[in-house]
Amino acid sequence: MFVARQEHGDDNLLDKVVNSEDEAYALYNDYALRTGFSIRKGKPRYFSGSKNIRQREFLCSKEGFKLDEDPRDEKKWNKLETKTGCKALIRFTVEDGVWRVTVFNPEHNHELATPSERHLLRSGRRISKPKAGVIESMVNAGISTKNAFSYLTEEVGGSENVGFTIRDCYNYMNMQRMSMISAGDAQSLLNYFKSRHAEDPMFFYTIQVDQENRMTNFFWRDGRSRVDYDCFGDVVVFDTTYRTNKYNLICAPFVGVNHHWKNVMFGCAFLLDETTDSFKWLFNSFLESMGNRSPVTIFTDQDQAMSNAIEKVFPDTHHRLCLWHIAKNAPSHLGELNANSEFKYLFNKCQKYCDSEIEFQETWDKMMQKFNLGNHRWLNMMYKIRHKWSTAFTKDSFTAEFKASSRSESTNHVLNGIAGKTTSLTKFVIEYDNLVARMRSSEFEEDFRCKQGAPPRVVKKSGLLDHAAQVYTCKIFKLFENEFLNSLAMVWKQVDCQDTITIFEVKEENSERVRIVQFNRLNTNISCSCKKFESLGILCCHALRVFSITNLTRIPSQYILKRWTKDAKKGMMAYEHDNHSLGNDKDAEIVWRNSMLRIANTAIYKSQGEDCLKTICQKMLLELDEKIERELSRLKLSTVAGEDEVVQCNTTDDMPVSDPPQARSKGVRNTRIRGHFEKRKTKSSKDASSSRKAKQQVTKGYSNDSFVGTYDAPIIQPPNPSCHIGSTSANLYGQSYSPWTMPSQDMSCINIPFTTMLEGTDVIAQISQNSSTYIPSQYISLINNSKQSDSTCGPEKEDVMLPSI
């Protein structure tokens, strides 16, 4: 039964006049929302032979009927049948630019929405730019979409005043995510890297593709990471256990520790597989991005392919295994031994608490004999690589006493917090950059706090503690102070004296463990058999005890490691691209909008107390709104006038990069040692074969020029002399980059969205039977006589295969 209803009131729109289609829509929509129905646009009618509108109708949203559908078609979601054949409409006739209402039918054949329901009408729901900006800012800050909507609801006094529903909010954020990867996930990621490089000349990225032009591996780091590496790159943790992303790629961050004993990120990579070739490519890329400076020590998990790559790329770096991964995998290999407390004590001692190789050997032999483990395969294998995981073999090299357990665990935790199984690569990289920005903000706050004063000392008027409080950061001072307090409990005995060198025996009271300390009175050089300074960079309690008994009240300069001091970054060039996001027009608008909102809110709050102030505030805001509307109308007219101008531009004919294939799981083509608790997935021989195809480097960016090159393939010089092989250029710190450079393409004339602006890459790969040769894509037509398209903007792009997700 249809409910025919004539609308109440004197709202007769017949003969009303407006000046544009937008005003016409707004007129009828405002009327509809007051009345209780939603509207939609009808088909326009044009003047003969032109695209100028002659008549335009706006209809009730319930006009017409739903088309009959085949009942055999299965749909996941069936929409409600809302159309009732309602005849309510309004028709505008356009003459000389004036829109006049010539037909107006206010009668409906359905029930209208009540006043309490009208905020749910579809044509009345709209997310304005200011509210959209608030939602995006909150979601990007880690607040859920639901809570962002709740905040807006609280601000405006109820969900009925927001102007849209929570479902609209979710849909808007989904559209934003889709627009982010509108050019394809891999291509959008490449575009993002290029935009970052345009803002930050020290930004570095490099990407590999396979024969089908699908992205396989990529690495990136920003300019600040290079500065951090120059200060704290002596120890690096490289972790490949994190995999949560859309393509099951291996996330491999490079992590260090800063002067506040907190994690610092040196860069990040995604790898398709864990083969030696992939790791060699990544380590070479990392080394190149850091000015060919290798770390002193690198911690990794137990992976033979990775170990082989480290030996090739970092021959002088000490390779250590992360104890966190050993502890994680050991239970699956040890079986019933996990429940034996004595075995756990001995095995733990072998890992962390043996002071010498002799003590390690004695403890290991005792453990193996007591539990009859001579034929235990896993323990025998661990013994062969004992120099990589036992602290008895690592005391001579600087490790920052990393042991890497807390570093790896905390890194995995924070990465799990920014991504999920459906997270796109572009979204992950952006969230990673936001995470790094928060870490740097925390470091900056710690720097400021340390500069405001000295930390409190437990022992007053101690020269050594006073000096340490002046030079060390608060966290490192606490470590030093703990060593100093332990030194007070040490007993000592002088055992020898030769010229200027005195030898002491230092030990804890009632302890049998004796440390040998040698002290040179002439130059204040000191060494201890515990080798804490060599591994951590802070003097041990045994050395501090000798300083006390020899009346030394200041720390000798040779024992103050700059990386632990308040001035760890002193002398480094100030980095000016930390706020790179402000170079993005969208982010700059958010900052400006929030600033204006604060000004407006301040004026409104000041006006709340008095009626006269409320009147003044309202009047000024209305006048401001009218001025802005007039200016917007003027700008629209000038924009329309300029639409007829023809702008010619040239685009690159580079081949776009396709999304990565599904990565195979850990365990394929390497000998990673893992427990059976670690998940394994099988891979067909076909996929394994295709993933072994030669990977080709597509593009790198780290200077003002695009890099063209590879590690195992020759460079072919372009035939065009305008794209020449450039000379070596120096970076911020004087290290040279590769001389194989080419001028970047001029894209200044292209005014299209960021995610689709750069549809190609700098290099495409031509694969021959015997070798891989890299040819700049703008010259590929000179070799393979590829067919040119009729477009004036460049050759037709080659189709690429998208992976199945």
Domain ranges of the chain: 1-69+77-122, 125-180, 453-564
Residue 165 corresponds to which amino acid? T
Distance between CA atoms of 523 and 547, rounded to whole angstroms? Answer: 13
Residue 154's pLDDT is what? 85
DSSP bridge pairs for 697: 208
Per DSSP, the three-state class of 634 is helix
Residue 412 corresponds to which amino acid? N
Higher per-residue pLDDT: 675 or 482: 482
Distance between CA atoms of 503 and 138, rounded to whole angstroms? Answer: 63
pLDDT band at 789 (very low <50, low <70, confident <90, very high): very low
Q: Does the pLDDT value for residue 764 go beyond 90?
A: no
In the predicted model, what is the mean pLDDT of residues 382-399?
Answer: 90
What residue has token string 């007053």?
A: 460
Greatest Cα pair distance in the chain: 114
Which residues, 6+ apart, have CB-to-CB distance to 453 below 8 Å? none
Out of 230-239, 426-435, 645-654, 725-734, least confident range: 725-734
Contact 221, 204 (CB under 8 A): yes
In the predicted model, what is the mean pLDDT of residues 87-105?
Answer: 93
Which runs of E-coded beta strand occur in 210-332? 215-221, 235-238, 250-257, 263-271, 297-300, 318-321
Residue 242's pLDDT is what? 76
SS (H, E, C) 650-676: CCCCCCCCECCCCCCCCCCCCCCCCCC
Out of 255-264, 701-710, 726-735, least confident range: 726-735
Count the Cβ atoms, other than its own, within 10 Å of residue 273.
24
Q: What is the DSSP letter of 448?
A: H
Q: Quick one: 1 exposed, middle or buried, by C-beta within 10 A (0-12, 13-18, 19+)?
A: exposed
Residue 785's pLDDT is what? 41
Residue 12's pLDDT is what? 84
Alpha helices in 391-462 (DSSP H): 405-418, 425-451
Distance between CA atoms of 199 and 495, rounded to whole angstroms? Answer: 63
Distance between CA atoms of 655 and 774, rounded to whole angstroms? Answer: 13
Higher per-residue pLDDT: 117 or 728: 117
Contact 555, 539 (CB under 8 A): yes
Which residues, 6+ apart, have CB-to-CB distance to 387 below 8 Å? 393, 394
Residue 172's pLDDT is what? 79
Residue 39 corresponds to which amino acid? I
Distance between CA atoms of 790 and 795, rounded to whole angstroms? Answer: 8
Distance between CA atoms of 34 and 393, rounded to whole angstroms? Answer: 81
Per DSSP, the three-state class of 506 is strand
In the predicted model, what is the mean pLDDT of residues 712-720?
Answer: 31
In the predicted model, what is the mean pLDDT of residues 95-104?
Answer: 92
Kindly state the helix (H) or strand (E) to which residue 306 belongs, with its residue range: helix 304-313
Out of 8-17, 160-169, 776-785, least confident range: 776-785
Distance between CA atoms of 716 and 719, rounded to whole angstroms? Answer: 9
Mean pLDDT of the chain: 77
Which residues, 6+ apart, have CB-to-CB distance to 56 below 8 Å? 21, 24, 41, 42, 44, 45, 91, 92, 94, 99
State the architecture of 453-564 in CATH terms. Answer: 2-Layer Sandwich (3.30)
DSSP bridge pairs for 255: 237, 265
pLDDT band at 688 (very low <50, low <70, confident <90, very high): very low
Proportion of the chain above pLDDT 90, given as a percent:
40
- Pairing type for strands 772-776 and 763-767 reads antiparallel
Terminal alpha carbon distance of the chain: 48
Distance between CA atoms of 304 and 276, rounded to whole angstroms? Answer: 8
Distance between CA atoms of 604 and 593, rounded to whole angstroms? Answer: 16
Proportion of the chain above pLDDT 70, given as a percent:
71
Q: Does the pLDDT value for residue 778 go beyond 60?
A: no
pLDDT in tens, 726-738: 333 333 333 333 3
Contact 568, 258 (CB under 8 A): yes
Stated pTM of the model: 0.65
Q: Report the sign of the C-alpha dihedral through residues 733, 735, 737, 743, in that order.
A: positive
Q: What is the dihedral of CA 630, 634, 636, 639, to 10 degrees?
A: -160
Contact 802, 659 (CB under 8 A): yes
Distance between CA atoms of 292 and 279, rounded to whole angstroms? Answer: 16
Q: Does the pLDDT value for residue 632 go beyond 90?
A: no
Best-predicted range by mean pLDDT among 293-297, 580-584, 611-615? Answer: 293-297
Out of 75-79, 80-84, 92-96, 272-276, least confident range: 75-79
Residue 551 corresponds to which amino acid? N
pLDDT in tens, 506-558: 999 888 889 999 999 999 999 999 999 999 999 999 999 999 999 999 999 99
Distance between CA atoms of 502 and 481, rounded to whole angstroms? Answer: 25
Contact 744, 704 (CB under 8 A): yes
Higher per-residue pLDDT: 352 or 659: 352
Q: Does the pLDDT value for residue 773 go beyond 90?
A: no
Instruction: Report which of 184, 186, 208, 207 is spatially closest to residue 693, judged by C-alpha positions.
Output: 208
Cα within 13 Å of Cα(380), Cβ side:
7
Q: Which CA distances in Å does 578 have to 201, 202, 514?
A: 12, 11, 49
In the predicted model, what is the mean pLDDT of residues 39-55?
Answer: 91
Residue 55's pLDDT is what? 93
For 418, the token pair is 């920014």
Q: Which CA distances in Å does 508 have to 486, 495, 515, 789?
A: 9, 17, 9, 83
Which residues, 6+ apart, have CB-to-CB distance to 52 below 8 Å? 46, 94
For 126, the token pair is 């709209």
Best-predicted range by mean pLDDT among 128-137, 163-172, 478-487, 629-638? Answer: 478-487
Residue 169's pLDDT is what? 86
Instruction: Report which of 53, 207, 278 is spatially closest to residue 659, judged by C-alpha positions.
Output: 207
pLDDT in tens, 559-592: 999 999 999 998 765 555 544 444 455 567 767 7
pLDDT band at 178 (very low <50, low <70, confident <90, very high): low
pLDDT in tens, 636-652: 666 554 444 433 333 33
Contact 552, 558 (CB under 8 A): no
